[in-house]
Structure 1
Amino acid sequence: MGEAAQAATAAPDEGFASAPADALARARAAARARGLRPGVKPKRRIKDVPGGAHKKGRDPMLLGDELDAFVTERGWKVDVAVGAVIGRWPAIVGPEVAQHCHPVEFVDSVLTVRADSTAWATNLRLMSNTLMATLAREVGEGTVSELRVVGPSAPSWSRGGRRVQDGRGPRDTYG
């Protein structure tokens, strides 16, 4: 047998040895493209299971899927996400921080948080990058674009018995 014949018979064997590795690499790339990650089981959808004796559309639907569709259809996705943040505020920021501040309003993707003292308001402003990252992870990127921290509200002393003519005002009496 000549050298060309030996090379021709050796080449297919080498190709067969790398074929399983190539197939595995293609399968992994396809799974990554579909959003699957190693170690995470794909969520099984009951919708994918073919129905029984009834016509299409009569099989029971998953309640969670129907609620998601309803919320999306009405355009309430952001409102529901923000409601979840307000409802789970202590779990998101931690119990110690939650004792000293609470969310007040959410308007045009700006979340306003009121602190119970000016010291805590300053502390929250310093922690705003960390809080924004946590909020993005909890409700999705871009839902909360700005975190506005305000201190405690004080009564106005512009009129009344405690008013001082040309005085400097109450200063930090309430915080």
Structure 2
Amino acid sequence: MPGAVPGPTGGAAKNAAARGAALAREKLAQAKADAAKRGQLPREPRKKAAGPRRESGDPQLFGRAITDLLADRGWREPVAVGGVFGRWHEIVGPEMAAHTTPQSFADGEVLVVADSTAWASQVRWLAGQVVRRLNEELGDGTVQRINVQGPQNGPPRSGGLRVTGSRGPGDTYG
């Protein structure tokens, strides 16, 4: 993010990059599975594209071939989102990326999970800037809102014994 405070470098940046690459691979696999459900398998014959006709054996620029493949299979947006999720640490800054993870994208909403309630509040406060930055990467209007979730588990409890049932005023007497 512009103006983001530089965070830890070295190992933390490498971990964030590895985590981002794994997330991008996961999103690409999800996009392929979704395409297979729609019946758009990679071995299906290609639809004829408008434009200059080319013979099947003629060479084609690699970038153009990939762009055509993504468009034909309906993978353009899922791949773009996976790429953004894979570069999350570059987009939001290393400090925020160390404490947040994008989980999913659906209907213009990005689900972000924070590792603490403080970071969840921080992301909610900066949601407008994050949406603007994501739309710079994906195209205007692609991301409309961010849904932020805090940690799913509370702090670890110490000790082995637990009292079950509800607590109430009777617990303080006696």
The bucket for the TM-score relative to the shorter chain is 0.5 to 0.7
**Aligned-partner Cα distance in 2 for 1:124–1:152:** 13
2-side partners of 1:148 and 1:167: how far apart? Answer: 33
Larger-gyration structure (1/2): 1
Partner amino acid for 1:124? Answer: V
Equivalent residue, structure 2, for 1:165 = 165
* Cα gap change, 1:78 to 1:56, in 2 (>3 Å): closer
Distance 1:163 1:121 in 2: 31
> Which ranges of 4 or more aligned residues in structure 1 deviate by more than 3 Å?
160-164
Long gaps (5+) in structure 1: 1-54, 169-175
Aligned length: 113
Deviation at 1:56, TM superposition (A): 4.9
1:61-140 equivalent positions in 2, closer than 5 A: 61-140=60-139
Counterparts of 2:104 and 2:82, CA distance in 1:
10
- Is the contact made by 2:85 and 2:102 (CA closer than 8 Å) also made in structure 1? yes
- Name the SS of the counterpart of 1:141 in structure 2: coil
Rounded Cα–Cα distance in structure 1 between residues aligned with 2:124 and 2:60: 45
Deviation at 1:131, TM superposition (A): 0.3
8 Å contact kept, 2:109–2:144: yes
Q: Percent identity over the alignment?
A: 41
RMSD between superposed Cα atoms in Å: 2.8
TM-score, scaled to structure 2: 0.58
By how many angstroms is 1:78 displaced? 1.1
